[in-house]
Chains A and B, each alone.
Chain A
């Protein structure tokens, strides 16, 4: 048995080495998927709107007159330097899109995760603890219905109820137009910007705009979490150490809270990593529903404008995020569960 510190480091290094082939495959898939379809991206986006000579120049500037293999190598090189290209339709570096709109997505998904974790873990623990009771059956049903609910439908209902009927909450955008205009941006995270700005009315406006989108996306993800936590509680409650704890005369309350729940939550971390795919897909729908100017919202806009460079850049960025999160989750796992570091 090696010392834990050494083996954690070895594990980390092995894991990092495995990232490279996965990264290469994802990038290759993205590149060829985006190149199989159109004749060339410049014509697809701007064809008929600019004179042929200018199209030619743009094609040359973007390197589309080079052989495919050269373009491929250029692409990999650009990604390595974190250069995702410049959009064709509005001449914006994709990096800017990622920073400006990506931070809107970050703000949304962060608070959605807060909602999802509190609702999902809370209800999941209750359901697992009270197996087959009325509470368990209703919580399970709730989980299934929430999972079956498309983000845009939940968003529609929320807009109808809290926006139109009750008039409590705004249903569109990240802030009111005048607030958006006046708020100086430092981080592009409006909540933090509002705190730096130090104006209560601005802060309140930003918070109010955040509630419905974050709750919508959060509840959708909570559906999966409920089920996961419930199953894990059921499994841990069957464990030998639970029986042993009971046999030692520890009262049921602390068996459940100190022994069972803690262990039931460990596998949740792993699956949480897989939820990133769900989170990103849900974010695209939630952003479109609430006009939230996030990166998913921008992606849909660029798709509609047939801007292949923008789409390729954004998809590449998503691929990097997917890989980053999977590595992160593995590290967290290895850190809390020594059995993982083989």
Chain B
């Protein structure tokens, strides 16, 4: 059983191992960068020098505010006297938590909605397409801000509010991709064959359509996660993300650092900003690399040297 699982997992990673050339580098760079932040998020309590909201040391002495990087504070301290390095490390946890939440919610809503709407069509489909297209065309950040603003009025700002605001941006994307894919699949001959054999819609959708659609999800979800980190940071920057006392968030820290730039204080803005860039780059490379590696149209496999058997002497027929 276990060996079977390992073999299955091994097969799933087959394309990654087989990849050659530039896609190979891209996918590995993406994996390494992303893992770096995942490890950072999981081990934050142990590797972070201080708590994310700690502004005093053990003896009760307040940290000097806006202190340049030193051995006690490798990334310096910010205007609120908290340790920048600790906030960067704890921030990884916040970003990944919110984005995971947001991507799962958007998938759970967008995927089934797209499947059903695309498969059954009809007036409901048409109305849904109109609404989703309208939402999709709208500037995504404004949509997220407005939703976060409205939700924070009712529920306060926190991980859930930020995650739902971000989901509102990505649900239309999943819906569109899945629905359009399903509409084209519906006309495929094997789907028609299944229907002709009398398969119920549930079977057709579950076995044939879903299995096909789900193939494109890892790539889209990874790329969307990259995008969602940017949206979350932007929400935080504008003050509609997570409150600084609840958790560390890179976008909020960046907004506080902005006024430091004029005074030449570079460490408060540089490190959270770098963290955003590296994590988003990592996820983008991973998504792009997976696309190059998994998509058979783009895939360039390893060239196997082929030795042909020596040509057997042929009888002259003439």
Are A318 and B146 also in contact (CB < 8 A) when A25-B134, A159-B261, A165-B264 are? no
> Across the interface, do A137 and B142 meet the contact criterion of CB distance under 8 Å?
no
Interface residues of chain A: helix, strand, loop or mixed (majority): helix
Quote the shortest CB–CB distance from B288 to chain A (angstroms): 8
> Across the interface, do B131 and A145 meet the contact criterion of CB distance under 8 Å?
no
CA–CA, A147 and B288, complex, Å: 13
Interface size class of B (residues with CB under 8 A): 35 or more
> Across the interface, do B277 and A148 meet the contact criterion of CB distance under 8 Å?
yes
Cβ contact of B145, chosen from A156, A303, A326, cutoff 8 A: A303
Are A159 and B146 also in contact (CB < 8 A) when A25-B131, A285-B237 are? no
> Across the interface, do B134 and A163 meet the contact criterion of CB distance under 8 Å?
no
Are A145 and B277 also in contact (CB < 8 A) when A26-B134, A160-B261, A165-B264 are? yes
Cβ contact of A33, chosen from B141, B146, B239, B255, cutoff 8 A: B146
Are A153 and B262 also in contact (CB < 8 A) when A147-B284, A284-B142 are? no
CA–CA, A153 and B269, complex, Å: 7
A contact residues around B284 at 8 Å (CB): 144, 147-148
Cβ contact of A285, chosen from B131, B150, B234, cutoff 8 A: B234
Quote the shortest CB–CB distance from A273 to chain B (angstroms): 9
Tell me whether B7 is interfacial, beta carbon within 8 Å: no
Are A156 and B149 also in contact (CB < 8 A) when A22-B133, A148-B226, A150-B251 are? no
In the complex formed, the residue of B with least CB distance to A277 is B139
Quote the shortest CB–CB distance from B168 to chain A (angstroms): 10
B contact residues around A160 at 8 Å (CB): 261, 264, 266, 269
A contact residues around B21 at 8 Å (CB): 132
B contact residues around A144 at 8 Å (CB): 281, 284-285, 288
> Across the interface, do A153 and B137 meet the contact criterion of CB distance under 8 Å?
no
Are A311 and B139 also in contact (CB < 8 A) when A144-B281, A153-B273, A164-B264 are? no
> Across the interface, do B226 and A150 meet the contact criterion of CB distance under 8 Å?
no
> Given A152-B273, A322-B139, 7 other A-B contacts at CB below 8 A?
A144-B281, A149-B277, A150-B273, A164-B262, A280-B139, A300-B145, A323-B137
> Across the interface, do B280 and A281 meet the contact criterion of CB distance under 8 Å?
no
Are A159 and B262 also in contact (CB < 8 A) when A150-B233, A280-B142 are? yes
In the complex formed, the residue of A with least CB distance to B233 is A150
> Across the interface, do A150 and B230 meet the contact criterion of CB distance under 8 Å?
yes
Quote the shortest CB–CB distance from A277 to chain B (angstroms): 4
CA–CA, A34 and B234, complex, Å: 21
